[in-house]
């Protein structure tokens, strides 16, 4: 390594070179060691905040901005040189970029799947497989939105080991879209004799303003979903692109640049500590780390001896910058596996240091063994189809094992299901005089790997409501918010069930009762929404409020004979069960209109999943005490409200006030508050009898 005294010549340390020497190197090599160092700085912040603080640092936003800056710098240079930029060049760029990033991502996916099999419970295997496919096809961010992932959950050990791929998925999507914008700009430059920089600047200003406005709105409406939303992130890439365009004409050097560069570094460092990331990103507050990154990029090299480049061009940091992609990939699964095995929510200082050291070592090895050889492989770069072959072969390395593993899980579930009639009585085991005649070593259903997926729609499926009289009754309801489950020609009763997932989970039993008794059954649903105008915190979300008004309009127009709704709400801690405000008024409202109401008592919620407890203590050691009282709090309403009857199923879930992990070789809960569809299906005859009795009771008053 050259001596610090050696300030002349191109081999001098970056911060020791004169501004002319720095600019000459940039023109010749097109390499910015300061940006490489900034990239490493951002990724280290991400990893450190994840491991020790369980917070978001803002480093990902910096990382995304840098990628847009570098890509735009490359394309703007081509356009300004007058180089043709058509479909051939765009597709060649796509192949070149994805040939570099896909193989390392694939290796990480394969290793993460292997780690999931070793270190995570079986209930997390199928979600991991599905998420792996979302990762491989750069759709992880949309997968996270669909599955309501909480990026800020305090327990990282319960998180998906693929969760961090959301940002790389957005980045991959931008790598596909941005070149098309540059191609369009190149075409306009040739056809209209327009200036490329002006066209691009206008284009990216429009994208920035539109996306930022959307991000601010979505952050206020649905912050957790906005965090993963590509449309809410476009402005960060547009800002990086605008910076690249500006930097081609404006240069900031001297003491002012040095001060601004250090200001940007300090702002990036303090972002996660000072900002309410959980409640504000990716809205207007996300300008903090991105503008700070712009200051650093625009003001380095500063042309002084004390600018931020002194740190950013430090050789170890530059080397780490070359492995920053791999470090980002591997640090998160290592953390998830460690926390899952130890049962902790956060890593301590020494454990965190070990995890970061291990992640860095693995990242350096993967960069040297996988990324660097492929980047330098001239054979693959010679023709597009060769690059495509490398990408396809890499994808198969992950798709193949994932498909095999999923097929094996499916096969095991199918085999276990063949003997379910004898081996898995479920709730029937609670009947007086029941005698088990199945195999002693029978598997418990659903199989552990399929347990998290055992929702009601695995057993019964509805069809969108049609031919409703009047048609206006469906106004505002989405196709999946009003479903018909049984519709005989001459129904004995018209029944409408309304509510959230806690009502939906009972559908296997309710649908069976409808078929046995000849009822017409419709379900008006909205996961996460209570059928009451006031929530526990005296607030109700706008989407839930809209749904409730539309559901009320449908019920009022449809005028069913019976309305099924949840009358209580189970809680974790406290009393274990409450009656939501306005629920009784909701019941009285419909009974006054001549509609009988059956109020279903909720099932218990617990602080942890049975599956997590079973991993530590075995099934026998995970019979949770019922947090709910013995008496149904709405039982007295039956005497006060004409046309109301309660339906209590607590004894079928928690016999003798104990809520076991399994009853009759069937798992009771799929998570900490939803029953498995298999167990609900096993208690359908008991539910049908009780439901019919409740309806008769309500109609007789």
- Condensed to tens digits (0 to 9), the pLDDT of residues 564-584 reads 999 999 988 778 888 876 888
Neighbours of 44 (CB within 10 A): 21
pLDDT band for position 154 (cuts 50, 70, 90): very low
Q: Is 120 left (phi over 0), alpha (psi -120 to 50) or beta?
A: beta
Nearest one of 119, 162, 126 to 342, comparing CA atoms: 119
Question: 178: burial class by Cβ within 10 Å (0-12, 13-18, 19+)?
Answer: buried
**pTM of the prediction?**
0.83
Q: What is the distance between the alpha carbons of residues 573 and 561, in angstroms, rounded to a whole number?
A: 36
Q: For residue 416, what are its two tokens?
A: 């276990």
The answer for residues whose C-beta is within 8 angstroms of residue 127's C-beta and 6 or more apart is 160, 452
Can you give the pLDDT at residue 6?
A: 36
Asked if residues 521 and 497 have their Cβ atoms less than 8 Å apart, the reply is: yes
Q: How many helices (H) and strands (E) does the chain have?
A: 30, 13
Please report, for the chain, the start and end positions of each structural domain, with discontinuous segments joined by +. Answer: 33-401, 455-699
CATH dotted code for 455-699: 3.40.50
Whether the pLDDT of residue 339 is over 50: the answer is yes
Burial 365-389 (b: 16+ CB within 10 A, else e): ebbeebbeebeeeeebbeebebbbe
- Condensed to tens digits (0 to 9), the pLDDT of residues 399-420 reads 999 999 999 999 988 988 888 8
Q: What is the distance between the alpha carbons of residues 108 and 132, in angstroms, rounded to a whole number?
A: 10
The pLDDT mean for the chain works out to: 87
Asked if residues 643 and 650 have their Cβ atoms less than 8 Å apart, the reply is: no
Asked if residues 279 and 152 have their Cβ atoms less than 8 Å apart, the reply is: no
| N-term to C-term CA, the chain | 93
- Condensed to tens digits (0 to 9), the pLDDT of residues 610-658 reads 988 888 888 988 999 999 988 899 988 888 889 999 999 999 999 988 9
What's the mean pLDDT in 342-354? 89
- Condensed to tens digits (0 to 9), the pLDDT of residues 8-47 reads 344 555 445 555 555 555 444 467 899 999 999 999 999 9
Kind and range of the H or E element at 600?
A: strand 596-600
Q: Is the peptide bond before 282 cis (omega within 30 degrees of 0)?
A: yes
Q: What is the distance between the alpha carbons of residues 463 and 484, in angstroms, rounded to a whole number?
A: 5
Q: Within the chain, what is the greatest distance between any pair of CA atoms?
A: 99
Torsion angle, alpha carbons of 315, 316, 320, 322, to 10: 20
Kind and range of the H or E element at 555?
A: helix 542-558
Can you give the pLDDT at residue 222?
A: 83
pLDDT band for position 187 (cuts 50, 70, 90): confident
Q: What is the distance between the alpha carbons of residues 47 and 323, in angstroms, rounded to a whole number?
A: 13
Q: What is the distance between the alpha carbons of residues 286 and 273, in angstroms, rounded to a whole number?
A: 13
- Condensed to tens digits (0 to 9), the pLDDT of residues 66-118 reads 999 999 998 988 887 777 788 888 999 999 999 999 999 999 999 999 999 99
Q: What is the distance between the alpha carbons of residues 466 and 265, in angstroms, rounded to a whole number?
A: 59
């Amino acid at each position: 390594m050259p001596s610090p005294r050696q300030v002349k010549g191109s081999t001098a340390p970056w911060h020791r070179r004169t501004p002319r020497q720095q600019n000459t190197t940039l023109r010749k090599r097109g390499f910015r060691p300061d940006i490489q160092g900034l990239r490493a700085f951002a990724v280290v912040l991400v990893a450190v905040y994840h491991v020790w603080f369980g917070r978001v640092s803002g480093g990902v936003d910096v990382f995304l901005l840098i990628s847009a800056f570098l890509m735009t710098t490359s394309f703007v240079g081509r356009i300004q040189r007058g180089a043709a930029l058509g479909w051939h060049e765009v597709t060649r760029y796509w192949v070149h970029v994805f040939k570099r990033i896909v193989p390392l991502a694939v290796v990480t996916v394969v290793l993460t799947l292997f780690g999931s099999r070793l270190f995570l419970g079986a209930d997390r295997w199928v979600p991991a497989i599905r998420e792996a496919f979302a990762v491989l096809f750069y759709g992880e961010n949309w997968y996270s939105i669909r599955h309501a992932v909480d990026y800020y959950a305090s327990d990282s050990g319960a998180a998906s080991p693929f969760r961090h791929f959301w940002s790389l998925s957005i980045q991959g999507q931008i790598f596909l879209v941005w070149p098309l914008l540059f191609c369009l700009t190149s075409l306009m430059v040739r056809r209209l004799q327009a200036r490329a920089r002006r066209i691009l600047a206008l284009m990216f200003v429009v994208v920035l303003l539109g996306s930022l406005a959307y991000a601010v709105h979505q952050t206020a409406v649905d912050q957790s979903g906005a965090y993963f939303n590509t449309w809410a992130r476009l402005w960060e890439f547009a800002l990086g692109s605008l910076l690249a365009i500006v930097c081609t004409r404006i240069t900031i050097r001297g003491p002012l640049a040095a001060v601004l560069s250090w200001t940007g570094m300090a702002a990036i460092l303090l972002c996660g500590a000072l900002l309410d990331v959980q409640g504000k990103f990716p809205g207007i507050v996300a300008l903090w780390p991105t503008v700070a990154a712009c200051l650093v990029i625009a003001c380095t090299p500063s042309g002084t001896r004390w600018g931020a480049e002194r740190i950013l061009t430090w050789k170890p940091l530059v080397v780490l910058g070359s492995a920053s992609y791999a470090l980002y990939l591997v640090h998160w699964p290592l953390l998830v596996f460690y926390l899952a095995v130890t049962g902790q929510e956060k890593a301590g200082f020494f454990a965190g240091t070990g995890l970061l050291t291990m992640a860095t070592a693995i990242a350096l090895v993967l960069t040297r063994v996988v990324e660097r050889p492929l980047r330098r492989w001239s054979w693959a770069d010679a023709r597009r189809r060769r690059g495509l072959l490398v990408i396809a072969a890499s994808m198969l390395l992950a798709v193949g094992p994932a498909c095999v593993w999923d097929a094996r899980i499916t096969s095991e579930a199918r085999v276990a299901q063949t003997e379910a009639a004898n081996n898995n009585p479920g709730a029937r085991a609670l009947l007086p005089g029941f005698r088990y005649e199945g195999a002693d070593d029978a598997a418990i259903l659903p199989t552990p790997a399929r347990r998290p997926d055992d929702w009601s729609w695995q057993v019964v499926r509805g069809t969108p409501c049609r031919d409703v009289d009047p048609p206006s009754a469906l106004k505002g309801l989405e196709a999946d918010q009003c479903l018909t489950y049984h519709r005989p020609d001459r129904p004995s009763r018209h029944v409408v069930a309304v509510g959230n997932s806690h009502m939906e989970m009972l559908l296997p039993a309710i649908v069976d009762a409808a078929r046995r008794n000849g009822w017409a059954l419709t379900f008006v649903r909205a996961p996460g929404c209570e059928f009451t105008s006031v929530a526990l915190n005296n607030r109700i979300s706008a989407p839930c409020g809209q749904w409730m008004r539309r559901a009320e309009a449908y019920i009022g127009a449809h005028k069913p004979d019976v309305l099924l709704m949840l009358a209580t709400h189970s809680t974790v801690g406290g009393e274990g069960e409450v009656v939501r405000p306005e629920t009784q008024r909701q019941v009285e409202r419909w009974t006054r209109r001549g509609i009988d109401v059956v109020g279903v008592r909720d099932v218990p919620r617990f602080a942890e999943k049975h599956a997590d407890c079973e991993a530590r203590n075995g099934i026998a050691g995970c019979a949770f005490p019922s947090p709910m009282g013995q008496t149904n709090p709405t039982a007295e309403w039956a005497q006060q409200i004409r046309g109301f009857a309660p339906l209590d199923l607590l004894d079928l879930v928690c016999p003798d006030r104990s809520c076991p992990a399994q009853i009759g070789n069937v798992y009771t809960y799929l998570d900490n508050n939803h029953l498995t569809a298999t167990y609900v299906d096993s208690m359908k005859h008991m539910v049908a009898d009780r439901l019919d009795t409740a309806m008769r009771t309500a109609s007789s008053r």
